[in-house]
Amino acid sequence: MLLDVKNVKKVYKTRGTQTTALQQIDFGVNEGEFVAIMGESGSGKSTLLNIIATFDQPSQGTVHLNGTNTAKIKKNKIAQFRREQLGFVFQDFNVLDTFSNKDNILLPMVLSNADIKEMERRLQEIAPILGIQNLLEKYPYEISGGQRQRVAIARAIITNPPLLLADEPTGALDSKSSEQILGLFKELNRLNKTILMVTHSIQAASYASRVLFIKDGVVYHELYRGEESNQAFNERISQSLTMLADRGV
Ligand SMILES: Nc1ncnc2c1ncn2[C@@H]1O[C@H](COP(=O)(O)OP(=O)(O)OP(=O)(O)O)[C@@H](O)[C@H]1O
């Protein structure tokens, strides 16, 4: 199993009050899966993603990524671990306007002291998949939101990390650009990239091969796509949400 989240609990303590953001989370992600975590605002999605991304620590429980207990990584090794094991795609792209798109994409490889030839080779490999060959010399402020997100995805996968994490990756995009970005995730998954995406969008979740539903800090339901089309899976996700709401879950 690539990612193993066991018994994870997270309590925030601020100014004398306690908030239990995650009560008890247990799930795993196998290599090659595309998993979506769905939940409403405040359900604990970002908290969970931040813990998996090693930006935060659980109050209880463990996260193993590629066999490593992330709580055991030394402080001075954590940035390297993130670069090698994880790619990040955020809602608001997080690309740097002072760098060209190409330099944005190559940044993680530069930080890893990669060979220039190897960087070019990787860039030529992934640019056509993402359809960004003509955008490389431009700057992020010269391209559209959907194109910026494609640049951000290129940056996330340039080092070929085993796990791609996405936090509401279509949250800032119109529906056409959202479909393109989700289609790209699906294509990357077909090319064997493992993806974990958190979202509140049924449309986004319907591109995944498995959907976990989170509420009040627990995973309370799970759906597998099987052989279904996006549309059929979308309908099943909607039905599940209605049924669970009717039951008061
Ligand atoms: N740093 C923090 N300190 C205290 N409480 C926090 C902190 N971060 C989140 N919380 C609380 O933990 C709970 C879960 O929040 P979280 O941000 O994980 O939800 P979410 O599902 O990602 O929501 P959204 O979709 O709005 O981003 C909420 O009740 C939130 O108020």
Distance CA 67, CA 208 (A): 24
* 205, 237 Cβ separation under 8 angstroms: yes
Q: Helix axis angle, 78-85 relative to 101-111, nearest 10°?
A: 120
Q: Note the pLDDT of residue 243.
A: 85
Distance 90 CA to ligand 1 centre (A): 16
Distance CA 188, CA 194 (A): 8
Q: Note the pLDDT of residue 93.
A: 87
Task: Give the Å distances, CA to CA, from 209 to 133, 219, 228.
Answer: 29, 17, 9
Give, for ligand 1, the residue of 10, 17, 46 to mutate: max count of ligand atoms closer than 8 Å to Cβ: 46
Distance CA 175, CA 159 (A): 29
pTM to 2 decimal places: 0.95
pLDDT tens track for 220-243 = 999 999 999 999 999 999 999 998
User: What ranges make up the beta strands (E) of the chain?
Assistant: 3-14, 17-29, 34-38, 60-65, 68-69, 86-89, 163-167, 194-199, 210-215, 218-224
Q: Note the pLDDT of residue 112.
A: 87
Distance CA 93, CA 80 (A): 21
pLDDT tens track for 41-96 = 999 999 999 999 999 999 999 999 999 999 999 999 999 999 999 999 999 889 99
Q: Note the pLDDT of residue 249.
A: 72
Task: Give the Å distances, CA to CA, from 210 to 171, 184, 195, 205, 234.
Answer: 20, 17, 11, 8, 12
- Segment 123-139 shows an average pLDDT of 96
Closest by CA to 197, choosing from 39, 5, 25, 21, is 39
Distance CA 214, CA 69 (A): 23
Decide if pLDDT at 246 tops 90.
no
* 48, 60 Cβ separation under 8 angstroms: no
Decide if pLDDT at 97 tops 90.
yes
Give, for ligand 1, the residue of 19, 52, 196 to mutate: max count of ligand atoms closer than 8 Å to Cβ: 19
Answer yes or no: is the ipTM higher than 0.90. yes
What does CATH list as the number for 3-205+237-246?
Answer: 3.40.50.300
Q: Is 194 left (phi over 0), alpha (psi -120 to 50) or beta?
A: beta
Ligand 1 atom, smallest distance to 217 CA: 14
CA-nearest residue, atom 12 of ligand 1: 21
The ligand 1 site (C-beta within 6 Å) comprises: 12, 14, 19, 21, 39, 41-47, 200
